[in-house]
């Protein structure tokens, strides 16, 4: 795996695909700069080598040129974070971009206008990618969030740099973290899968059954499994047409020697609302009029023990409706368990959508080994898919 550490960027212009798709408020100010911060180490290494950085990114989903999606809005923020006054080119290809790149000196940073102002970006157009490729001596991909897309700047452009392409440090860290879990994870390996639906996690479950020793299933998915096994789930969320699949998963897990842990008790509610009446109920004896919205105390004890005995932990999806304060306890307690295991030496990776949001909201971000920056890209990695943006650098 070639990374920026395999290159010396002295007198070189690095064309870097970053993920600066950051949220902006109504005054076009950046409200969460995490993604800019995450790209900083790569940019700094290149500048410290004596090179210059040409940054390209998309922002939002513009239809053609729409000024509200201009990357000009974030120039000041990027400058503040990188510590260098960033220059801006009002187009990512053509004379404007080429002249700005030609004028770039070592130690300088240029941000190109939104790639998606050109439809050729998302269609993966080869000519457009070729134009981009003229803007740098070395191509660096540091955008994990778009690595699952075969777009011009994330994938196609790499073919014009047969020997001069590499991963930025953020993308390298993402790849290493996934490998640490799925390829050479230290045993016992435990995956915690929560969230709302079996159907959205099924490909992940199928892929990781070959990799893990323990699979903890929680959240809304629980009830499809429990009902399939003959339990009474009241009004809990359930995908009736996935019951057979749930039984198949349990059977496959047994054949492969994977221990599945399902909740034994839940926090039941008489309404899908934070102020609903709550009571702890056995997971397979939920009366009509009640629904399970969080993991119960016995369940959390069992999950805690499994987690504390694991050397590698993957967490995707909340254990309950954590957006409602009264049903967040399961997700928070699980976060504590994973933090404790990590402190004792386990490797823990949190990835994909809502678990990342939960980890940030409850302050576990720096208590786990790694929090992935890519939602869809992470999910596709866990499904065992080869991401085009990663393959393009490796090939
Ligand atoms: P996902 O996007 O599939 O990871 O699902 C995340 C969502 O699942 C969150 O918004 C949770 O509120 C929801 N969720 C978790 N547990 C339950 C539950 N027991 N009933 C309904 N929704 C749930």
Q: Taking the domains of the chain in order of start, what are their residue ranges?
A: 4-172, 185-382
Q: Residue 373: its pLDDT value, please?
A: 84
Helix crossing, 34-49 with 75-82: angle to 10°? 60
Query: What's the average model confidence in pLDDT over 333-343?
Result: 97
By three-state DSSP, how is residue 152 classified? Answer: coil
Characterize 291-312 residue by residue with b for buried, 16 or more Cβ atoms within 10 angstroms of its Cβ, and e for exposed. bbbbbbeebbebbbebbeebbb
Atom number, ligand 1, closest to the C-alpha of residue 223: 19
**257 in the Ramachandran plot: left (φ > 0), alpha (ψ -120 to 50) or beta?**
left
Instruction: Establish whether residue 200 lines the binding site of ligand 1, counting it when its CB lies within 6 angstroms of any ligand atom.
Output: yes
**CB atoms < 10 A from the CB of 97, how many?**
22
Average pLDDT over residues 53-58: 98
Token output for 132: 């981009």
- In this predicted structure, the answer to whether residue 311 has a pLDDT above a threshold of 80 is yes
The whole-number pLDDT of residue 92 equals: 98
Rounded average pLDDT over 350-379? 89
Within 13 Å and on the Cβ side, how many CA atoms surround 261? 22
Residue that the structure tokens 């959205």 belong to: 200
pLDDT greater than 90 at residue 162: yes
Whether residue 351 contacts residue 179, with contact meaning beta carbons closer than 8 Å, is answered with no
Which atom of ligand 1 lies at the shortest distance from residue 316's CA? Answer: 4
Ligand 1 near 296 CB (within 6 A): no
What local confidence, expressed as pLDDT, does residue 352 receive? 79
Q: Give yes or no for residue 70 having a pLDDT over 80.
A: yes
Identify whether the C-beta of residue 327 lies closer than 8 Å to the C-beta of residue 302.
Answer: no
How many angstroms is it from 293 CA to the middle of ligand 1? 8
Q: Which atom of ligand 1 is nearest to the CA of 197?
A: 3
Percentage of residues of the chain with pLDDT beyond 70: 100
Q: How confident is the model at residue 356 (pLDDT cuts 50, 70, 90)?
A: confident
Question: How many CB atoms within 10 Å of residue 395?
Answer: 9
The answer to whether residues 24 and 134 touch, using CB atoms and an 8 Å cutoff, is no
Q: What percent of the chain is helix, strand and coil (3-state, nearest 5)?
A: 45, 15, 40
Confidence check: pLDDT of 304 > 80: yes
pTM over 0.85: yes
Would the pLDDT of 338 be above 80?
Answer: yes
pLDDT of residue 271: 98
Pairing verdict, β 278-282 and 312-316: unpaired
Whether the domain at 4-172 and the domain at 185-382 fall into the same CATH topology: yes
pLDDT of 362 reads 92
The whole-angstrom separation of Cα 267 and Cα 248 is 27
Domain range 185-382, CATH class: alpha beta
Structural contact between residues 361 and 164, judged by C-beta atoms closer than 8 angstroms? no
- pLDDT, residue 360, reads 86
How high does pLDDT run on average in the chain?
Answer: 96
Q: What is the CATH number of domain 4-172?
A: 3.40.50.1260
Return the minimum-mean-pLDDT range out of 6-10, 45-49, 89-93, 377-381: 377-381
* 264 contacts 297 by C-beta, under 8 angstroms: no
- Whether residue 353 is predicted with pLDDT greater than 80 in this model: the reply is no
The region of weakest confidence among 81-85, 143-147, 370-374 is 370-374
Residues designated catalytic: 35, 197, 353, 376
**Residue 374's pLDDT is what?**
83
Instruction: Tell me the mean pLDDT in the region 6-35.
Output: 96
- Per-residue pLDDT tens over the stretch 213-272: 999 999 999 999 999 999 999 999 999 999 999 999 999 999 999 999 999 999 999 999
Q: How far apart are CA 98 and CA 114, in angstroms?
A: 15
Residue among 199, 354, 375 to mutate when testing ligand 1 (max atoms within 8 A of CB): 354
Least confident of 88-102, 124-138, 344-358: 344-358
168-188: average pLDDT:
96
% residues pLDDT > 90 (the chain): 93
Over 90: is that where the pLDDT of 276 sits? yes
Give the whole-angstrom CA distance, residue 309 versus residue 247: 26
For the cut 80, the answer to whether the pLDDT of residue 395 exceeds it is: yes
């Amino acid at each position: 795996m070639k990374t920026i550490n395999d290159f010396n960027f002295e007198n070189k212009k690095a064309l870097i695909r970053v993920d600066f798709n950051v949220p902006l408020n109504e005054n076009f100010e950046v409200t969460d700069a995490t993604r800019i911060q995450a790209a900083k180490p790569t940019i700094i290494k290149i500048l410290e080598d004596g090179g210059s950085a040409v940054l390209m990114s998309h922002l939002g989903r513009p239809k053609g040129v729409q000024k509200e999606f201009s990357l000009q809005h974030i120039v000041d923020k990027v400058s503040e974070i990188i510590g260098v006054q960033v220059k801006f080119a009002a187009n990512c290809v053509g004379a404007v971009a080429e002249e700005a790149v030609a004028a770039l000196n070592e130690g300088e940073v240029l941000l190109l206008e939104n790639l998606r102002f050109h439809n050729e970006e998302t269609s993966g157009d080869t000519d457009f990618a070729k134009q981009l490729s003229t803007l740098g001596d070395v191509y660096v991909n540091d955008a994990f969030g778009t690595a699952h897309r075969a777009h011009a700047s994330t994938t196609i452009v790499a073919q014009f740099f047969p020997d001069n392409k590499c991963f930025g440090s953020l993308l390298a860290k993402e790849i290493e973290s996934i490998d640490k879990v799925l390829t050479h994870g230290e045993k016992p390996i435990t995956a915690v899968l929560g969230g709302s639906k079996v159907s959205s996690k099924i490909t992940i479950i199928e892929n990781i059954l070959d990799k893990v020793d323990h699979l903890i299933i929680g959240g809304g998915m629980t009830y499809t499994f429990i009902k399939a096994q003959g339990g009474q789930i009241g009004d809990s969320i359930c995908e009736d047409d996935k019951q057979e699949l749930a039984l198949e998963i349990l059977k496959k897990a047994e054949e492969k020697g994977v221990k599945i842990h399902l909740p034994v008790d839940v926090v039941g509610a008489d309404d899908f609302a934070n102020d609903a009446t709550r009571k702890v109920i056995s997971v397979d004896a939920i009366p009509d009029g009640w629904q399970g919205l969080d993991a119960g105390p016995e369940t959390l004890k069992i999950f805690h023990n499994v987690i504390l005995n694991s050397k590698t932990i993957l967490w995707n999806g909340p254990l309950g409706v954590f957006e409602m304060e009264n049903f967040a306890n399961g997700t928070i307690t699980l976060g504590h368990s994973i933090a404790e295991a990590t402190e004792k030496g386990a490797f823990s990776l949190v990835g994909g959508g809502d678990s990342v949001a939960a980890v940030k909201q409850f302050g576990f971000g720096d208590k786990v080994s790694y929090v992935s920056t890519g939602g869809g890209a992470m999910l596709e990695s866990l499904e065992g898919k080869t991401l085009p943006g990663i393959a393009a650098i490796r090939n």
